Every structure is written in C-alpha cells, then in structure tokens.
Structure 1
Amino acid sequence: MTGTTYDRPRLRPEVVLGPAMRSGPKTVHHVKDALTGCYYRVGPREHFVMGLMDGQHTLEDIGRRYTDTYDRRLGPGHWQQMFTMLGRYQLLDGYADDAALDRLKQAHEAKQSARQGWLRRRWVILRPDEMCAALANRLAFAFRAAFLIPAFVLLAAVQVFVWTHVATLTHEATHQKSSWITLPLSALLLWGITVLHEFAHGVTCRHFGGTVTEIGLSWRFPMLTPYCRTDDIVLFHQRRARVGTAFAGVFVSLLALVPVAAWWWLVGDGPLGRPLVAGLLLFGSGAAAINLLPILRSDGYVMLTHALNIADLRRESYRFWRLRLRRRDPAARERLSTYPPRDIRTYALYGVATLLLLLSAYCALMWVWFGSLQRWVGPAWAVVILAAETAVVAGVLSLAARGRSGERRTTDE
C-alpha cells in the first residue's frame, strides 16, 4: 500500500473535514462526503493524516510530519488500516468506484428512512439550498456588526417591554370580542414567523459555507414542529459560526416582534389592534424563551452543545450517567477513569439540570391539568387519569429509548 499507487494521495474534492469536538472522553472529527451525503467520525490522528492528503504530500512527507507531531512512526500496518478505511468509504480521488459510491448513497438513504416511525417522522417540504444561497448573498449585511448591534438593542428592548407588561398583554389577549378573527390570524402570523425562523437557520448555514438539504415538518412524540436541516454545522471550524447558525432562528423570531411591538403602540382596540398584537407578543416571546432552554433538540441545546465544543451533549451525558450508576462494575469504573475532569463536570451538571428542569415542567403541567380535570370528574378520578397518563408517557419514552439504543448499536457514525 505504500508503493507508487498511493505515493501522493488526495481526498476527493467532495470530502470535507470538520473541526475537533469532544465525544465522551475522546476527541473526534466529522468527515462529510457531499457526493453520498454520508457523515463519518474519525479520531485526531486519522484526521491529521487525511488533512495532508492533498495531492502535494508524499507518503514519506506525511509520515515525517506525523512523527514530528505525535512522536510515533507510521508503519506498514498503520498505512494498511488507513487505506482500508479510505477504500471502504471511497474517499480517495481517482480510486473511487461509481457503483460503490452509489451503494453508499443508497445505504445512507435507507438508514435515514429506517429512522422513520410512529414516534419520529419527517416530511420534507422544500429543498432550499439554492434559495438559501441567494438569500445569504443578498443579506450579507445582516451578518455585520453595523446591523447586529442595533438589532440586538431593539429586540432586547421589546423583550424588556413584554416581560414587564405580561399582565397587561395577557388581559388584552384574553379579553377580546373578535376572537373569531384574531385567533386564526394570530396562528397564521405565528406560522409566518416560524417560516422566517427556519429560513434564518438555512441562510446562516449557507453564509458560513454549509449546505441546506431540507426544510419541513418533524414529528417527535408528542410534538409536531418545523425543522431546517443544517447538518453541515459540524464542519464549521469557527465555534461562533456553529453557535450563530443555531441561534439565528431565535434571533430572527425575536426581531420579527419589533414591528409587532410598534404596532401595539400605534393601534387601538379594534379586531386588528391590541388584542391581536398582545397575543403575538406573548406567544412569540414565550416560544423563543422555551426554544432557548438547552433541552431536547431545541436551538438552545444546539447552541450549548457547540459552545462547549461537544459532538452530542445529551447523548454523551446519558452515556456518562449510565456508567456513573454502574460504577461498581469494574468495566464501568475503568471507562469513567478515562473522562477528563472538565468533561465529568459538564456531563454531570447537564444531566442533573436537565432532569430537574423536565421534572419541574412535567409537575407544573400535571398541576394545571389536575385543576381542570377535578372540576369535570372530581379529584379522585383526576388523580387516576393523570397517573394513567404518566404511565403511558413513561412507557412510550422507554420504547423510544430502546429504539435509540438499538439504532446506535447498528449505526456507524
């Protein structure tokens, strides 16, 4: 493998190498093959070697640079492993087989389809990459400080106004005589803001050099939400680009409330006046605040994940706590010993904070439902219904967790 055939190896131009990120106790790099749509994970040493495969460096050059960096020599066995991996995924320029590439693409699409089920499903509405590219060019000014600073000041002022006038806005939104007009119109306008939210993710991703493959609707039990697929975020070497792409949707949603707030000041109490605007301000601000909470797959979660430079904070925290709860097992203790202290603190704190937050939210929801149910069926039956509801939710979540565990065992990252 170290002869003249691969003397000056070069990766295919569709192959993109991502930055270093933490995954449990390890450091990983994402690798994308734009031709097949596949993403892979490699370690820092494989990434180092692949980064030098540009057609300019010989194997001797790469081996020398590797020795200088890692104080280890790349022997024939190491090269054999490297070229076997590159051949398996058809990543070398000039040596990729079209039929093999097509099989990899079909396998990737089949894996995506296999993830669809009654607990999780996606419906693609748009393939917006070209549209997002055009918008990114036209809106380049929106990524400069001259625009961002005043915009942040305006949206912050609106949020201060909303949260200091919650009682007034709630009264205006709930005490109205034209709900048959304002409710459907509010829903329509909120969906319009949601569309802007998703396109903001896509345009920002394109601005930083990524591609936007899908915009659509996502069903993750028990919620139906819009989504914008910006998988290339893991390839951005600047951390601010990753965090900014995740934050762009909330930023635009909040910015869209600035003219709504101005509308509130200018209009009266008619059907298109303050009752309508108050509802938009409350629901829009509340949705943005919830979306910033770093739980589930919210924008806030993605922001925190990339701010900490972790590949998947929730999954890694889950793995850490499984090991932590099994620490009497020697194998679990050994694996825990490989975690750096900073990662131990991160995964431990995130796991505890997430559990407390979700339990608090669920208890608050149960209390609200209990208040409603007891008026209809009495306190005893209300408790029975809520207990049954909790059992069903726990069962569904358990099935979902088992499905994800099985999927992780059969998925090559």
Structure 2
Amino acid sequence: MSGTAEAAAPAGDRPRLRPEVVLGPALRSGPKTVHHVKDARTGCYYRVGPREHFIMGLMDGRHTLQDIGREYHDAYERRLGPEHWRQVFTMLGRYQLLDGYADPAALDRLRQAHDAKQSARQGWSRRSWVLLRPDRLCAALASRLAFAFSAPFVTAAAVLAVVVQLFVWAHVATLAHEVGHQRTWAVTVPLSMALFWLLTMLHEFAHGVACRHFGGTVTEIGVSWRFPMLTPYCRTDDIVLFHRRRARVGTAFAGVFVTLLALAPVTAWWLLTADGSIGHRLAAALLLFGSGGAVMSLLPVLRSDGYVMLTHALDLVDLRRESYRFWRLRLSRRDPAARERLGSYPTRDTRAYALYGAGSLLFLVLAYCALLWLWFGSLQHWIGPVWAVAVLAAETAVLIGILSPAVRGRSGERRTTDA
C-alpha cells in the first residue's frame, strides 16, 4: 500500500495485522521505551515506540480507525491527524504487516534481506555454525515436560540443586585432587569431554524447551565463535516477546538449572564408585567442571545466562550495550547534547547502567590481571621475568588493538530495525 492510499483509508475500515505478527512487551533501551514486533513469516524483528505499539495493538479487525483514534486520544490526549495515519500506514506497508495488503513477493524480499543481514555479520571475530533446527522437538518436549514448570516441582528441584552444590564445594579439594592426579588421562580426558558436551547439550535444550513452553519458537542450536571464545548457543530470540518477566528470566535460567539438576545423579555416581576407578574420576571431573561452568554462566558478564537474566529482570533490552553508551555520555557530559540526553534517562536505569558498567569493567580487569599473573608465573620459568613482562605487555596491546574496532562497531550496531 502506498502512503497516500493508506492515509485516505475510510474511517470505517477495520485494519488487522497479519496473524504471523506478534507484539512484545514494553522494554527500556537507554532513555526510550520500546516494543519488539516479530513477523514469523519473514523472521524479522522490529522495534516500535509505545504509541505505535498502542495503535498496532488495536488493529485486530474489530476496531475501526475512528475507534482507534478515540482510544488513542483517551490514552495520550492527542488526536491522530491525517499525517499521523500516513506515517503509521507507511511503516506498516514498508514491513508488510497488514493483513490483506501484504505482497508475497515483498515478504520474500524481506526474508532474503534478513538472511543476508545475518550472513553479513559472520566474520573472523564472530561466526556461528548451526547444528540442529530443534523447534518441533522442543515443542514435543515442552508438552511432555509441562509438569517441570509447576511451582512444586521447581521448588523441590531448586532445593536439590542447592544441596548438590553445597556438597560439591564442600568437597572441592578432593574433587580437584582426583581430577589432577591420575594416570589414565588418555581415557578420562576424551570421555570427560564427551560427557561434558552431553551436559552442554542438555543445557541448550533446556533453553529451547523453556522458550517453547512460554510460547516462543526455537530456530537453531549450534556453536558460536565470539573472539576469543567458542561456545554453544540456542537461539531463543522470542524471549523479547514474552509479556511476563518470569517467563523471560526463566527461559534464560533454564540451562543452568538443568545443568545443576543433572549433577545430582553424577554426585550419586561419584559416591557409589570406588576411589581411583575411572568412573570415580569421570564423575569428579563432571562435578568440578559442571559446577564451575554453572557458576560462570550465572555471572552477569559478556553474554552469559546470568547477564540475560539480569537484563530481563530489569526489563531492559541490552544492559551491557546501554551501559557502554551511558558511560560514554557521562564521560562527555561537558557536551550540552550529552547532558541533555543523560537527563532523559529514568533514575532507576541511570543507577543500573552506572553500577553495571563500573562493576563489569572492574570484574573483567581483575579477571584479566589474575590471568596475566598465572601466565607470568609460567613464562618466567622459561624466559625470565623481564621477557615475561614484555611478552604479556605485547599480548595485551595486540588484544586491545583487536577488540577496540569490534567494540566501536558493536556500539553502533542495531540488532533489530527501528520502525
């Protein structure tokens, strides 16, 4: 539809969004409130403001344009004039969101453009490999495991997970000794890696099943390379469409939760096997690295599960990126434009961005310093302390040089299109 035709639509028209279009809840992105809109036909996600979302929410085939105008006036004390309607329908037409007016060829072009954009993001510093398209399997599992989302089951499972972790960390010295002092590395290392990857797949499927349980779709499970880490992933992009905060946080937490539960039978395995046996040492390795990995996943840094949980617990879109932007504005507050934009941030978000930005930077710096200290302890035995410091300084400079362009590029990157 053209902008002119849309603006001239009769007031008695009852516009309706296509059935594949899903509207998400209000989330905060910097000083703005945004809503995500998904078109399941093209796979595209868009962002709209609260007023556009309000209008789109009333486009259900039951409300006329006059009805929508009256309700909009009641909510915002402003009238929708011809120019406003032209802007709304132009946006809807651009993304082919109106039922009865969508062009199949245009929808195909939108899907192709979306796929091309995803492919363009692949590079030496970030790449992903799809292993499974698990949506139907996750749907079947979500139906069969619906009981696992009930409050009694979750409570009992949480108690069991806490008891297992208390046991593991109370015996961490013993577990570490059994893992580090053995003569069967050729057998235990491959088996441990295979079992750990099985545990990891359970972790990723848990995200997918939870997403399906709460009404989303799961497009893929795979392996992701984000310099300098290779990690498994499960795409649960529909998390931004869940209106209940509990559903969003629960989907992010599901992987760690299942990992912790899976360690319960491993604990029994460790207790029932004889000291020094291969099975005993395998169980020790799974308990040690599985628990350590779960704790690391809960730390709200980088793109961990804990980070996603914290972001959605605060009803934010991207805590890390917005914290970076907030601190960049704060450090440039001598600029009147920066001061003005800082003043538009909600108070609670200002505190969240300030604390997270400072806290995550401090954590990463301390973690990197600890890693440098470990490297220094190894290198100095081989090349001496002076050369060890020189090598580590050179490595740090190279790392900064590699990461700086990526950070600057990502700060301006938009994961979704603002409508």
TM bucket, shorter chain: over 0.9
Alignment CA distance shift 1:72-1:252 (3 Å): same
Which of 190, 212, 215 is the aligned partner of 2:218? 212
Question: Aligned residue for 1:390?
Answer: 396
Mapping 1:297-376, distance limit 5 Å: 297-376=303-382
Distance in 2 of aligned mates of 1:214 and 1:409: 17
Distance in 2 of aligned mates of 1:409 and 1:287: 28
State the secondary structure of the residue aligned to 2:97.
coil
Which of 14, 20, 23 is the aligned partner of 1:17? 23
CA offsets, 1:362-409, max 9 Å, x none?
Answer: 000000111011111111111011001101111111121133245449
8 Å contact 2:223–2:232 — kept in the other structure? Answer: yes
CA offsets, 1:157-202, max 9 Å, x none?
Answer: 1100111111111111111222221111111110000000000000
Distance in 1 of aligned mates of 2:107 and 2:173: 60
Question: Aligned residue for 1:151?
Answer: 157
Distance in 2 of aligned mates of 1:346 and 1:18: 22
Which of 49, 52, 56 is the aligned partner of 2:58? 52
Distance in 2 of aligned mates of 1:116 and 1:373: 35
Question: Aligned residue for 1:242?
Answer: 248
**Offset at residue 270 of structure 1 (A):** 4.0
Distance in 2 of aligned mates of 1:392 and 1:201: 36
The reply to whether residue 28 of structure 1 matches residue 34 of structure 2 is yes
CA offsets, 1:102-130, max 9 Å, x none?
Answer: 11111111110110000000101111100
Which of 133, 137, 144 is the aligned partner of 2:143? 137
Report the TM-score, using the length of structure 2 for normalisation.
0.96
8 Å contact 2:179–2:284 — kept in the other structure? Answer: yes
**Offset at residue 15 of structure 1 (A):** 0.2
- Paired residue type of 2:333: R
**Offset at residue 335 of structure 1 (A):** 0.7
State the secondary structure of the residue aligned to 2:278.
coil
Distance in 2 of aligned mates of 1:405 and 1:140: 39
- Alignment length, in residue pairs? 413
Distance in 2 of aligned mates of 1:349 and 1:70: 33
8 Å contact 1:49–1:66 — kept in the other structure? Answer: yes
State the secondary structure of the residue aligned to 1:256.
helix
CA offsets, 1:337-373, max 9 Å, x none?
Answer: 1111111111000000000010010000000111011
- Paired residue type of 2:101: Y
Distance in 2 of aligned mates of 1:408 and 1:114: 13
CA offsets, 1:203-242, max 9 Å, x none?
Answer: 0000000000010000000000010000000000000000
Distance in 2 of aligned mates of 1:97 and 1:176: 66
8 Å contact 2:130–2:221 — kept in the other structure? Answer: yes
CA offsets, 1:44-102, max 9 Å, x none?
Answer: 11000000000000000000011111111111111111001000100000001111111
Question: Aligned residue for 2:234?
Answer: 228
The reply to whether residue 254 of structure 1 matches residue 275 of structure 2 is no
**Offset at residue 245 of structure 1 (A):** 0.2
The reply to whether residue 97 of structure 1 matches residue 103 of structure 2 is yes
Alignment CA distance shift 1:178-1:110 (3 Å): same
8 Å contact 2:324–2:357 — kept in the other structure? Answer: yes
- Paired residue type of 1:145: A
Question: Aligned residue for 2:3?
Answer: none
- The 4+ residue runs of structure 1 with deviation greater than 6 A are none
State the secondary structure of the residue aligned to 1:225.
strand
Distance in 1 of aligned mates of 2:398 and 2:12: 58
The reply to whether residue 121 of structure 1 matches residue 127 of structure 2 is yes
8 Å contact 1:10–1:54 — kept in the other structure? Answer: yes
Moved more, 6-15 or 23-32: 6-15
Distance in 1 of aligned mates of 2:157 and 2:164: 11
8 Å contact 2:129–2:223 — kept in the other structure? Answer: yes
Distance in 2 of aligned mates of 1:204 and 1:75: 43
Distance in 2 of aligned mates of 1:90 and 1:108: 14
Report the TM-score, using the length of structure 1 for normalisation.
0.98
Question: Aligned residue for 1:84?
Answer: 90
- Paired residue type of 1:245: T
CA offsets, 1:133-159, max 9 Å, x none?
Answer: 011111111111232122111111110
Q: Which runs of 5+ in 1 are unaligned?
A: none
Distance in 2 of aligned mates of 1:16 and 1:350: 31
* Identity of matched residues, %: 76
Alignment CA distance shift 1:88-1:411 (3 Å): closer
Alignment CA distance shift 1:5-1:37 (3 Å): farther
CA offsets, 1:269-299, max 9 Å, x none?
Answer: 2432322211111100000000100011000
Mapping 1:172-183, distance limit 5 Å: 172-183=178-189
The reply to whether residue 170 of structure 1 matches residue 148 of structure 2 is no
Distance in 1 of aligned mates of 2:198 and 2:359: 33
Distance in 1 of aligned mates of 2:326 and 2:282: 47
8 Å contact 1:174–1:275 — kept in the other structure? Answer: no
The reply to whether residue 194 of structure 1 matches residue 210 of structure 2 is no
